């Protein structure tokens, strides 16, 4: 009898901590997440960061295709709401679980618990992060890995696996960053102080000090330090899969491993035609899998480096060590780390990006679209405040989440006027705007269910001076086909250059300086979805739009997602829901 009771206790304990429960079509994996501020030393200095269950970064979620994740998220912050977005998970049938405050749900208030429940339907490398204010910049993020079901194998062989979550760290709080970005004049956040690999970096010491490239002292780690690098231990003549995800707030990165080639096999949860590189660029919001063959001298160790791309850097490289187990992990590499390519070598960035094509057998885009929208990215002013705008509208989110207000036809919850679908063709993208003034808005682009939509992202000159930034755009609820990239302003006839035969499926794509990027997706997932620049301060400054499709087909939305704004007042409080 005692053995039976003990077994029951173990089962209950397993389910509570995030282990398993069986259901038709897969397992239900339960997690309990407590979101709170914690004190950590991610770069050897003490900081307040956002953590989950006392961990920074948050716990890694691992599941198999077909599993249901049930994550009970409790807000243990003192004075602010929170949500978590499951980046790259399409949320088919569960748009309320997308984790976007004011879009898919109300922010979770302090002391409250919200249950995210959704199916992971495709294998791949994903991650999760805060999507309220600038909580991703505060450290609210973690990895999410979806494996093939047991008994199924990848088309590529590997002997072991590593997971790298890349991020950037500031020594000023995300709240101070928010205030600066919302001030007149703008107080820009500047470049990050430290680059982190799995939440670890070094600010006041250097792993490469003996090579003379820094004035910092050499790091003296005794073991167990929070900022000590997580070393990748490998055996000679093996193949390893390295999953890489970038949850950076600002920086684009370049990753390299000394003397080793990398074979890219996955991008944003989709298989690609494998190709070999010496190094790779990764923008905020992107994920990759690369294969590493440990075919170098096994009597040496090697650097793994990340460095800033796309912006003039003022941040030292992030470093860790690839350790061949034939020697001690304490032996430093005998040569300096790989040199990060020049930050403004955009041709190199474009060359890498254009190598990414779909693996044979990947669904290809419909040959024609039903409609096209052109989205011009500009930096503007609204009443003297610096903003980012799309077609001269800077996004401000409403008090009532769109999903509830559209489903229940609360038309006074947001602006019912559709946003502009294009911009004046005489607009000069190569110079600062003649009229820098913009407006704010919260209108929605509404698509018919099943409609095929082309989006042309158009980059332009910044507000003043000469310059055009790289922007990684992320779409919630869908993958899109990347049809192509171009220089200058998109013009009639450019659509003839579209790649319709091996277009890669992605959920994040960049627009290069003074260029355009063409995307195609099918509006086949009922819900309301954000489409935005994944650079955190840019989104905070209004660089995003809202898509909606088939909301009338959305099933029951959990009551907890609707307790704010007009849905809270008209539905929940009055007992109508």
Model pLDDT, residue 16: 40
The band of 458, judged by pLDDT with boundaries at 50, 70 and 90, is very high
pLDDT in tens, 106-158: 999 999 999 999 999 999 999 999 999 999 999 999 999 999 999 999 999 99
Helix or strand or coil: residue 225? coil
Average pLDDT on 392-410 reads 97
Which pairing describes strands 141-147 and 505-506: parallel, antiparallel, or unpaired?
Answer: unpaired
Residue 7 has pLDDT above 70, yes or no: no
Model pLDDT, residue 215: 86
**Contact yes or no for 108/83 (Cβ under 8 A):** yes
Residue 407 C-alpha from the chain's centroid: 27
Buried b (16+ CB within 10 A) or exposed e, 231-251: ebebeeeebbbbbbbbbbbbb
The band of 557, judged by pLDDT with boundaries at 50, 70 and 90, is very high
Helix or strand or coil: residue 63? strand
Among 339, 338, 340, 336, smallest CA distance to 210 is for 336
Which range has the worst mean pLDDT, 291-300, 316-325, 436-445, 564-573? Answer: 564-573
Residue 13 has pLDDT above 70, yes or no: no
Question: Looking up tokens 């770069």, which residue turns up?
Answer: 43
Q: What percent of the chain has pLDDT over 70?
A: 95
**Contact yes or no for 123/269 (Cβ under 8 A):** yes
Q: What percent of the chain has pLDDT over 90?
A: 92
CA–CA separation, 88 and 97 (whole Å): 13
Which residue intervals of the chain bear CATH 2.60.40.420?
26-145, 158-353, 369-569
pTM of the full structure = 0.94
**Contact yes or no for 97/116 (Cβ under 8 A):** yes
Average pLDDT on 242-261 reads 98
Model pLDDT, residue 8: 42
**Contact yes or no for 264/280 (Cβ under 8 A):** yes
Cα distance between the two ends of the chain:
45
pLDDT in tens, 178-222: 999 999 999 999 999 999 999 999 999 999 998 877 889 999 998
Buried b (16+ CB within 10 A) or exposed e, 410-442: beebbbeeebbeebeeebebeebbeeeebeebb
pLDDT averaged over every residue in the chain: 94
CATH of domain 158-353: 2.60.40.420
Average pLDDT on 65-88 reads 98
pLDDT in tens, 31-56: 999 999 999 999 999 999 999 999 99
Buried b (16+ CB within 10 A) or exposed e, 511-528: bbbbbbbbbbbbbbbbbb
Model pLDDT, residue 23: 47
pLDDT in tens, 218-245: 999 988 899 999 999 999 999 999 999 9
Beta-bridged to residue 58, according to DSSP, are none
- The phi and psi torsions of 196 (rounded to 5 degrees) equal -115, 140
**Contact yes or no for 479/88 (Cβ under 8 A):** no
- The phi and psi torsions of 361 (rounded to 5 degrees) equal 100, -10
The domain defined by 369-569 folds into Immunoglobulin-like (2.60.40)
pLDDT in tens, 328-367: 999 999 999 999 999 999 999 999 999 999 999 999 999 9
Which pairing describes strands 480-487 and 505-506: parallel, antiparallel, or unpaired?
Answer: antiparallel
Model pLDDT, residue 22: 46
Question: Looking up tokens 């696996």, which residue turns up?
Answer: 161
CA–CA separation, 102 and 570 (whole Å): 16
Work out the number of other CB atoms within 10 angstroms of the CB of residue 395. 22
The band of 25, judged by pLDDT with boundaries at 50, 70 and 90, is low
Pick the CATH number of 26-145 from 3.30.110.60, 2.60.40.420, 2.30.110.10, 3.20.20.450: 2.60.40.420
Model pLDDT, residue 4: 38
Which pairing describes strands 439-441 and 393-395: parallel, antiparallel, or unpaired?
Answer: parallel
Residue 18 has pLDDT above 50, yes or no: no
Question: Looking up tokens 């960053």, which residue turns up?
Answer: 177
């Amino acid at each position: 009898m005692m053995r039976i009771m003990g077994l029951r206790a173990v089962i209950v304990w397993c389910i509570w901590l995030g282990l398993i429960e069986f259901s038709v079509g897969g397992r239900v994996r339960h997690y309990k997440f407590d979101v709170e501020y914690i004190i950590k030393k991610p770069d050897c200095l003490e900081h307040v960061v956002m953590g989950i269950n006392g961990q920074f970064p948050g716990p890694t979620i691992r599941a198999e295709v077909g599993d249901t994740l049930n994550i009970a998220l409790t807000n243990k912050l003192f004075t602010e709401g929170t949500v978590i977005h499951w980046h790259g998970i399409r949320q088919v049938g569960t748009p309320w679980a997308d984790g976007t405050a004011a879009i898919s749900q109300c922010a979770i208030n302090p002391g409250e618990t919200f249950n995210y429940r959704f199916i992971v339907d495709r294998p791949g490398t994903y991650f999760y992060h805060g999507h309220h204010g600038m909580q991703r910049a505060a450290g609210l993020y973690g990895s999410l890995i979806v494996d093939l079901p047991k008994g199924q194998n990848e088309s590529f062989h590997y002997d072991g696996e590593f997971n790298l979550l890349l991020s950037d760290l500031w020594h000023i709080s995300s709240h101070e960053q928010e205030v600066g970005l919302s001030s007149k004049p703008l107080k820009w956040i500047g470049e990050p102080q430290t680059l982190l690999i799995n939440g670890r970096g070094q600010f006041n010491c250097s792993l490469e000090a003996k090579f003379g490239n820094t004035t910092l002292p050499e790091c003296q780690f005794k073991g167990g330090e929070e900022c000590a690098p997580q070393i990748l231990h490998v055996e000679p003549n093996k193949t390893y899969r390295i999953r890489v995800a970038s949850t950076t707030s600002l920086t684009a990165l370049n990753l390299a491993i000394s003397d080793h080639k990398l074979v890219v096999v996955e991008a944003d949860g989709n298989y690609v035609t494998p190709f070999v590189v010496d190094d790779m660029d990764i923008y905020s919001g992107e994920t990759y899998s690369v294969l590493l063959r440990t075919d170098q001298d096994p009597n040496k160790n090697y650097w793994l480096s990340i460095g800033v791309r796309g912006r003039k850097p003022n941040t030292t490289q992030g470093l860790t060590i690839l350790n061949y187990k034939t020697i001690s992990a304490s032996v430093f590499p005998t040569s300096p780390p790989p040199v990060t390519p020049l930050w403004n070598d955009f041709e190199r960035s474009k060359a890498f990006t254009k190598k990414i094509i779909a693996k044979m057998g990947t669904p290809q885009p419909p040959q024609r679209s039903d409609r096209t929208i052109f989205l011009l990215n500009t930096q503007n002013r609204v009443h003297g405040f610096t903003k980012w705008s799309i077609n001269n509208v800077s996004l401000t989110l409403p008090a009532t989440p769109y999903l509830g207000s559209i489903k229940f036809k609360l038309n006074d919850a947001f602006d019912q006027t559709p946003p502009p679908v294009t911009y004046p063709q005489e607009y000069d993208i190569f110079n600062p705007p003649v009229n820098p003034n913009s407006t704010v808005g919260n209108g929605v682009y509404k698509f018919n269910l099943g409609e095929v939509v082309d989006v042309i992202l158009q980059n332009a000159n910044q507000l003043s001076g000469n310059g055009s930034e790289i922007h990684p755009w992320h779409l919630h609820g869908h993958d899109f086909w990347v049809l192509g990239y171009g220089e200058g302003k998109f013009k009639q006839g450019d659509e003839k250059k579209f790649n319709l035969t091996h277009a890669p499926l992605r959920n994040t794509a960049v627009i290069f300086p003074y260029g355009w990027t063409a995307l195609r997706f099918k509006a086949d997932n009922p819900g309301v979805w954000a489409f935005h620049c994944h650079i955190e301060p840019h989104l905070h400054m209004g660089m995003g739009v809202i898509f909606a499709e088939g909301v009338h087909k959305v099933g029951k939305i959990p009551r907890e997602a609707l307790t704010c704004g007009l849905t809270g007042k008209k539905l929940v409080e009055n007992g109508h829901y």
